[in-house]
Amino acid sequence: MAGVDNDTLQRWLRAFAASVAEQKDALTALDAAIGDADHGANMDRGMAAVVAFLDATPPADPAALFKQTGMTLVKSVGGASGPLYGTLFLRMAPATGGAGALEPDVFAKALRAGLDGVVARGKAELGDKTMVDALAPALDALDAALAAGEPLAEALRAASDAADRGRDETTPMLARKGRASYLGERSIGHQDPGATSAALLLAAAASVVADQEAA
Amino acid sequence: MAGVDNDTLQRWLRAFAASVAEQKDALTALDAAIGDADHGANMDRGMAAVVAFLDATPPADPAALFKQTGMTLVKSVGGASGPLYGTLFLRMAPATGGAGALEPDVFAKALRAGLDGVVARGKAELGDKTMVDALAPALDALDAALAAGEPLAEALRAASDAADRGRDETTPMLARKGRASYLGERSIGHQDPGATSAALLLAAAASVVADQEAA
Amino acid sequence: MKKLLNDPADLVAESLRGVERAHPELRVDHENRIIYRADAPVSGKVGLLSGGGSGHEPAHAGFIGPGMLDAVCAGEVFTSPVPDQMAEATKNIDGGAGVLHLVWNYTGDVMNFDMAAELAAAETDTTVEAVVMNDDVAVEDSLFTAGRRGTGAAIPVEKIVGAAAEQGRSLSELADLARRVNDNSRSMGMALTSCTVPAKGSPTFDLPEDEIEIGIGIHGEPGRRRVPLASAHDIAQMLVDPVLADRDFTGGEGVLVFVNGMGATPMLELYLMYNEVAALLDKAGIVPVRTLVGPYVTSLDMAGCSVTITRLDDELLRLWDAPVATAGLRWGM
Amino acid sequence: MKKLLNDPADLVAESLRGVERAHPELRVDHENRIIYRADAPVSGKVGLLSGGGSGHEPAHAGFIGPGMLDAVCAGEVFTSPVPDQMAEATKNIDGGAGVLHLVWNYTGDVMNFDMAAELAAAETDTTVEAVVMNDDVAVEDSLFTAGRRGTGAAIPVEKIVGAAAEQGRSLSELADLARRVNDNSRSMGMALTSCTVPAKGSPTFDLPEDEIEIGIGIHGEPGRRRVPLASAHDIAQMLVDPVLADRDFTGGEGVLVFVNGMGATPMLELYLMYNEVAALLDKAGIVPVRTLVGPYVTSLDMAGCSVTITRLDDELLRLWDAPVATAGLRWGM
Ligand SMILES: Nc1ncnc2c1ncn2[C@@H]1O[C@H](COP(=O)(O)OP(=O)(O)O)[C@@H](O)[C@H]1O
Ligand SMILES: Nc1ncnc2c1ncn2[C@@H]1O[C@H](COP(=O)(O)OP(=O)(O)O)[C@@H](O)[C@H]1O
Ligand SMILES: [Mg+2]
Ligand SMILES: [Mg+2]
Ligand SMILES: [Mg+2]
Ligand SMILES: [Mg+2]
């Protein structure tokens, strides 16, 4: 394949938006248990705004797409997830190097830059029970699979599986960042909402790239 | 018998206090349906205060007893029932003519003076769904029985039965006085709390006078 | 029942201790449950007395102070205070110009205030006048009922008469003014939920999740009718229509619009309601020149709201704007 | 869910329309959801900006006006506003002396205000400082958490800094003052019930009739621990003890005691709580010189309360007493 093109990336964001919309109540229910019951509404409001600009004026290349996605999320989400997801996409933009379609390693590097942005902004470490616990193992798995020569679709599948595992592993963790940290020990036993939405992001990527390759 | 003596009248008030205490929640439940859920608490507070002065400094004669009962109720009950029950007893006092024990017709006249006071204060007519609907038929029955030559105990039994019937008859009435009147048609189908406590007052009288005669 | 209290029987007494501790500008007679302006009686000024059952906070004690009331009597929850309290308060706020009783129209309150006036007349030489406030249009056919309830109108009546009393107006002038503000006011309320009287321990009535009560008072009682849960837009219509049908509010300097929270309704929702109410008034050509939004006359933990409209003329507007310093309403000082 | 609203998605927008209609002394930018003092920017004065999620009314818009804030940004219910709003507001309240961001310590609010400051720096030449308010002692081990939440301290911080800003103090002086008031303040809250976020439509958590949450924040979240329903007396102890354990409140001019209602708790109960709290402070030799009792920082329709103690020195006391004219706090003007 000639890398992930702009259309596929837009399909990725649309697929993510669709699964966020579908999982909205589930995400909010997770946030009700250890937070303030708005993660589903927050992410859905943001991704609906992203879909709206995709419909109206789809950006011309991946850098513009990521930048506008990041800006839109920052502008429309609020809360903790707005700056974090916003930063993730804002940092991905320059990492594309202006390419019209992203080679697998460029896509992976862009995602890594995004994660670094999330960590820089939120200061969360692995094990703090946040979205980082889904994103970090996912990007490690992606890098490892690409290094092992696997095609992007397979590598993203591995990344998505790792994100799911990372998400599941947040359940027994004690939260140390975000609102859930206020609960102390009582945060144990609940799955982190942000890790859950992050796993949806990886799953959407795996699915649209697999479709692109199949097409 | 030599009329209702001061001791019996005090037993009457104590018996009324006891049944109000026992029926407190039931009276409040009736008031919750068409009023503001305080009639049981109001009457219980007032009658407990009456019992307290009976324990501490029992008045020397019926006039003093009724006056202090009336003043105590006015001072401690509040709401609509405080002035009404208070006035009932305050008006009974002078109607005793200063007697140490009340002949049946004097007792009946005192009660009638009390009812007149209630009507003067509250302006309720028969059928307005108030305590008057229990008190008025009761005193009519009392007068009729005494006129027919029945002994006081029997006559009070008849009065108590008439109060009970009057109380029951408030259920289908549309309230025109007090809080229940705000409900309009919706007051229909509920028994009036004040008529219910008034029926307890007559029942207590019938019971203590029967005991006095039996003794 | 989940409430912040110790023994429900002590609720009013303990809450008054809190009022006393929190407000050095007030004086509390605990035995008689009277709350005074610390500087009462104000010499030469007509004393203004109100009061009623507890559970309506900030009414009534929240409206004592310069520019408003001189004292209030507190009853048990939802139960009128008693004549002795009122007579004692009347005596103590008489600065030589008489005392005006501002009475919320409920059978119990009216009868107790009547008896208090009789007592005061018998025991002292204080001149007492009483004005009964009765603004609630939910009570129709007032000839066949205890008459319209006193609800939100008490706030403009007490505020405006309070300002006029500070100017040194006479007892009869103030009584006329109170009647005028009352006549210029109409209210209508609704409940999303009932409330729990602590001594009872459970809600006064049950209201299913999909129904509301229209035409309630301020005592947790059921209203005039039960309707399906509706949008704020439709609820505003159900409140404003009967108010406007009952009185002409055009003309004058405009109106005071008072959207009152019943206790448990967040301000976020009250402002949304105000938006709906203001839009309806706009359509009717009625001009809100002053606004009050918030929980002022509550019914314990009831969720819901009421709307009071008061027509203002130039004089009433000036008196509304005059300085006031109470726990519940304060400006200009 | 029973609430006064139309579409839950429009709640914040429609409520802001109501705020605009009810308060001619405020100006509302609906597109950006910013509420301003109508006369902002005040030339020569440092602009004070705060804000946060909606659902805490009267916080935040209730504290805009002379002597307090210049603007606030409103987020969705319980969701921090976004950097664009904050940057826009910052620009518009800069009277030439810079802008102070008073930030409630929540991850989202802090990150969004950070980004706003970056934006403002990039787009304009406004000097911005930010002070984070974090007074909630329920959050222990703050090294291993997002840090203590900002709760009731915001009221004294915003009031005192607002008064100082009117005096023309510089941005850095005001930032120091804000930090000082924050450092002098500690809070602890509890919930009798959860609350219902309209977009969710059911309570955030379930709390059985016989249990309460101790150590809650202001977002309807569960607290630090769940305990059996207790008397007001015992609850006061559970709130006051950790506050006093965390900081010495003796000395100075005394303290400001702020008993805050979470939204659905009647004032009758709040005054009773104040009585309990004051008794405990008395025992500890702490002198309340100023008091605030009422719903000021709410959590929608949550029942419960929080206690905030702020140590006042002579300067802080004078600034607290200085005139203020906002919808939520007003005196001296
Ligand atoms: N400091 C942080 N670093 C990374 N992720 C975080 C941090 N704080 C919170 N999160 C993530 O944000 C999620 C909550 O997002 P959301 O509910 O939308 O915002 P808020 O907590 O402001 O209501 C958490 O589940 C967590 O995964
Ligand atoms: N005008 C009246 N005349 C006679 N009885 C009345 C009148 N108004 C109310 N009542 C009686 O008072 C009862 C209610 O008493 P209570 O609940 O104690 O007072 P409140 O209505 O002030 O809460 C009613 O059930 C009715 O019987
Ligand atoms: Mg959240
Ligand atoms: Mg009653
Ligand atoms: Mg009552
Ligand atoms: Mg949030």
For residue C139, how far is its CA from the centre of ligand 1 (angstroms)? 52
Residue minimizing CA distance to atom 6 of ligand 2: B130
Name the closest ligand to CA C76. Answer: 5
Do C136 and C46 have their domain in common? yes
* C82 belongs to a structural domain: yes
- Is D30 a catalytic site residue? no
For A60-94, write each residue's pLDDT tens digit. 999 999 999 999 999 999 999 999 999 999 999 99
Q: Is the pLDDT of residue B1 over 60?
A: no
* Interacting residues of D213 by C-beta distance below 8 A, sequence separation 6+: D190, D191, D207, D222, D223, D224, D225, D226, D304
Distance CA B153, CA B145 (A): 10
Pairing of strands C34-37, C26-29: antiparallel
- Note the pLDDT of residue C287: 96
Do the domain assignments include residue C6?
A: no
Question: Based on the domain organization, do C80 and C160 belong to the same domain?
Answer: yes
The whole-angstrom separation of Cα D172 and Cα C274 is 40
Mean pLDDT across the stretch B158-164? Answer: 98
D158 and D279 in a single domain? The answer is no
The A-side interface with D (CB below 8 A) comprises: 25, 28, 32-38, 41-42, 45, 74-84, 121-122, 175-179, 181-184, 186
Q: Sheet harboring C128-133: ordered strands across?
A: C26-29, C34-37, C71-77, C47-54, C99-104, C128-133
pLDDT tens per residue across span C33-86: 999 999 999 999 999 999 999 999 999 999 999 999 999 999 999 999 999 999
Domains identified in chain A and CATH numbers: 4-214 (1.25.40.340)
* pLDDT tens, residue by residue, C242-298: 999 999 999 888 999 999 999 999 999 999 999 999 999 999 999 999 999 999 999
Rounded to an integer, what distance in angstroms lies between the CA atom of residue A199 and that of residue B56?
77
Domain edge (last residue) among C162, C183, C204: C183
- Residue D309 in contact with residue D243, Cβ under 8 Å? yes
D221/A contact by beta carbon, under 8 A: yes
C-alpha to C-alpha distance for B167 and B192, rounded to whole angstroms: 7
Stretch C103-128: mean pLDDT, rounded? 93
Alpha-carbon distance of C217 to B211, in angstroms, equals 45
Q: Tell me: do D49 and D196 sit in the same domain.
A: no
- The answer for residues whose C-beta is within 8 angstroms of residue D330's C-beta and 6 or more apart is C330, C331, D65, D324
Nearest CA to ligand 1 atom 24: A194
- D112 in the same domain as D203: no
**C300 and D268 in contact by Cβ < 8 A?**
yes
The answer to whether position C1 is within a domain reads no
Distance, in Å, from the CA atom of D258 to the CA atom of A82, rounded to the nearest integer, reads 33
Tens of pLDDT, residue by residue over D2-28, are: 999 999 999 999 999 999 999 999 999
C-beta separation of C58 from C327 below 8 A: yes
A12 C-beta neighbours (distance < 10 Å), count: 21
Residue B215 has pLDDT above 80, yes or no: no
C230 interface with D at CB cutoff 8 Å: no
Contact assessment for residue A185 and residue A174, using Cβ atoms and an 8 Å cutoff: yes
Any CB–CB contact under 8 A between C289 and chain B?
no
Residue type, D309: I
Among residues D268, D295, D233, D231, which one has the least CA distance to residue D58?
Answer: D295
Percent of chain C with pLDDT over 90: 91
C18 lies in a domain? Answer: yes
- B57 Cβ partners below 8 Å, 6+ apart? none
Candidate from C80, C82, C107, C115 with most ligand 2 atoms within 8 A of CB, to mutate: C107
- Are both C176 and C201 inside the same structural domain? no
B78 Cα distance to chain centroid:
16
Chain D contacts of C55, Cβ < 8 Å? 266, 268
Residues of C in contact with B121 (CB under 8 A): 111
- pLDDT at B40 exceeding the cut of 70: yes
SS3 D102: strand
Checking if the pLDDT of C18 tops 70, the result is yes
Give me the CATH number covering residue C68: 3.40.50.10440
- C201, part of any domain: yes
Q: Residue A25: phi, psi to the nearest 5?
A: -70, -35
What is the pLDDT averaged over residues B68-85?
97
Give, as one character, the DSSP assignment of residue B102: E
Q: DSSP code of C147? A: -
Structural domain tally of chain C? Answer: 2
CA-wise closest residue to B121 among B151, B82, B152, B157: B82
Q: Is C145 helix (H, G, I), strand (E, B) or coil?
A: coil
Instruction: Give the separation between CA C320 and CA A68, rounded to whole angstroms.
Output: 52
3-state helix, strand, coil split of chain A in percent (to 5) is 75, 0, 25
Region of poorest pLDDT, from A175-179, C57-61, C65-69, C306-310: A175-179
**Residue D6, domain member (yes or no):** no
State the residue for tokens 């009433």.
Answer: C316
**Structure confidence by residue, pLDDT tens digits, D22-74:** 999 999 999 999 999 999 999 999 999 999 999 999 999 999 999 999 999 99
Sign of the alpha-carbon torsion through C239, C244, C245, C246? positive
* Whether residue D190 has pLDDT greater than 70: yes
Q: D37 has which bridge partners?
A: D26
C76 vs B contacts (CB less than 8 Å):
38, 41-42, 45, 78
Structural tokens at position D216: 């809650």
CB within 8 A of D234, min separation 6: which ones? none
Mean pLDDT of chain C: 96
pLDDT of residue A1: 53
Count Cβ atoms within 10 A of the Cβ of residue C1 and give its class: 0-12 exposed, 13-18 middle, 19 or more buried: middle
Residues with CB under 6 A from ligand 2: B 31, 35-36, 38-39, 42, 79-81, 84, 118, 122-124, 130-132, 177-179, 192-195; C 79-80, 107-108
Are residues D86 and D223 part of one domain? no
Does A164 contact ligand 1 (Cβ within 6 A)? no
**Which residues 126-155 in chain C show a CB within 8 A of chain D?**
none
Pocket probe for ligand 1: among A130, A196, A200, the residue whose CB has the most ligand atoms within 8 Å is A130
Amino acid identity, position C325: A
Boundaries of domain holding D249: 185-331
- Distance, in Å, from the CA atom of D73 to the CA atom of D51, rounded to the nearest integer, reads 5
Whether residue C220 sits in one domain with residue C205: yes
What is the CATH classification number for the domain harbouring D294? 3.30.1180.20
Q: Pick the last residue of a domain from C142, C167, C183.
A: C183
Contacts of D164 (CB under 8 A, 6+ apart): D173, D174, D177, D319
Using a CB cutoff of 5 Å, list residues around ligand 6, an ion. A 36, 38, 79; D 78-79
Given D163, D183, D203, the domain boundary residue is D183
Q: What is the mean pLDDT of residues C12-25?
A: 98
The reported pLDDT for the residue numbered A93 is 97
- For chain D, what's the residue count? 333
Q: C217 touching B, CB under 8 A?
A: yes
User: What distance, in Å, lies between the first and last C-alpha atoms of chain C?
Assistant: 40
Helix (H/G/I), strand (E/B), else coil: D293: strand
Verify whether the Cβ–Cβ distance A82 to D217 is below 8 Å: no
User: CB neighbours (10 Å) of residue B7?
Assistant: 12
For residues C258 and C240, state if they share a domain.
yes
D36: phi then psi, degrees, rounded to nearest 5: -115, 155
* Ligand 1 contact via A177 beta carbon (within 6 Å): yes
The mean pLDDT of C125-148, rounded to a whole number, is 88
Task: Inform me whether the pLDDT recorded for D145 exceeds 90.
Answer: no
Same domain, C281 and C167: no
Give yes or no: residues C91 and C220 share one domain: no
Query: Given B32, B34, B177, which is nearest C146 (Cβ)?
Result: B177
Give mean pLDDT, residues A180-187: 91
CA distance D92 to chain C (A): 25
Q: What are phi and psi of D259, to 5 degrees?
A: -100, 110
Q: How far is the CA of C4 from the centre of ligand 4 (A)?
A: 23
CA distance C134 to chain B (A): 13
Asked whether this complex has an ipTM greater than 0.90, the answer is yes
The answer on C205 and C297 residing in a single domain is yes
Average pLDDT over residues D302-311: 98
- In angstroms, the CA C34 to CA C25 distance is 14
User: What pLDDT, on the 0 to 100 scale, is given for residue A2?
Assistant: 62
Do the beta carbons of residue C303 and residue C235 sit within 8 Å? no
Average pLDDT of the residues in B130-135: 98
- C-alpha D213/C-alpha D207 separation (Å) is 8
Q: Does D3 reside within a domain?
A: no
Q: How many CB pairs under 8 A join A and D?
A: 120
pLDDT for B135 equals: 98
Which atom of ligand 1 is nearest the CA belonging to A43?
18
**Nearest CB to D229; choose among C2, C77, C330:** C2
pLDDT above 90 (res C142)? no
Of residues D79, D83, D139, nearest to A79 (C-beta): D79
In a domain, D5, yes or no: no
Three-class SS state of C204: coil
